[in-house]
Amino acid sequence: MRPPSHSRAPVRRRPGGGGFTLAEVLAALLFMAIVVPVALHGMSVASRAGVLGQRKAAAMRVGERVLNDLAITGGWNQGATGGSITEGDTTYAWTMQSVTWPSDAMTQVTVQVTFTVQGNDYSVSLSTLFDPAAALATGTASP
């Protein structure tokens, strides 16, 4: 008795039939030409968003520091209107604007901090209220 044969008949291939056709290669190249630039652009946008978030947080810290310095030294009342602070490898320019409130004896002080990310300018603003009478009472004004 002969054991049952499970083998198939040999499949004949034409010579050179194991590779890709020219149409398949061109389709793959076209796909890569579309997908790769889109993926690189997406990574660039994600990178810029990450850097922008870090710089905005640093600009907020700079703005808080400037507002605190202006409050302690009374610079908001003495005409200090701008400057720049370097944090890490980035320079943050700041400007100060004070506006007297008409209904109260308060002054609104706004500090705007400007910075650059990949050639684009961005800014953050911080505001607070100061009481000129309290500044005189605590001795922050010049004698």
Could you give the dihedral angle defined by the CA atoms of residues 63, 64, 66 and 69, in that order, rounded to the nearest 10 degrees?
180
Q: What residue segments make up the domains of the chain, in order of their start?
A: 28-137
Q: 72 pLDDT band (50/70/90 cuts)?
A: confident
Which amino acid type is present at position 84? S
Which residue from 80, 77, 81, 96 is spatially nearest to 134, judged by alpha carbons? 77
Q: Quick one: CA dihedral 17, 19, 22, 26, positive or negative? A: positive
Which residue has better confidence, 34 or 132?
34
Q: Is the pTM of this model over 0.85?
A: no
Q: Strands of 120-130's sheet, edge to edge?
A: 82-87, 90-100, 107-117, 120-130
Q: What is the pLDDT of residue 101?
A: 80
| H helix runs in 74-88, sequence order | 75-78
> Mean pLDDT, to the nearest integer, of 72-85?
80
Q: What is the pLDDT of residue 127?
A: 92
Termini Cα distance of the chain: 121
Q: What is the pLDDT of residue 139?
A: 44
Which residue has better confidence, 59 or 44?
59
Residue 126, exposed/middle/buried by CB under 10 A (0-12, 13-18, 19+)?
Answer: middle
> Mean pLDDT, to the nearest integer, of 59-67?
94
Which residue has better confidence, 1 or 97?
97
Q: Quick one: CA dihedral 85, 93, 77, 135, positive or negative? A: negative
**pLDDT tens, residue by residue, 102-136:** 777 888 899 999 999 888 899 999 999 888 776 55
| H helix runs in 74-101, sequence order | 75-78
CATH topology of domain 28-137: Pantoate--beta-alanine Ligase; Chain: A,domain 2 (3.30.1300)
Which region among 4-8, 23-27, 96-100, 103-107 has the lowest average model confidence (pLDDT)?
A: 4-8
Residue 141: CA count within 13 A, CB half-sphere: 12
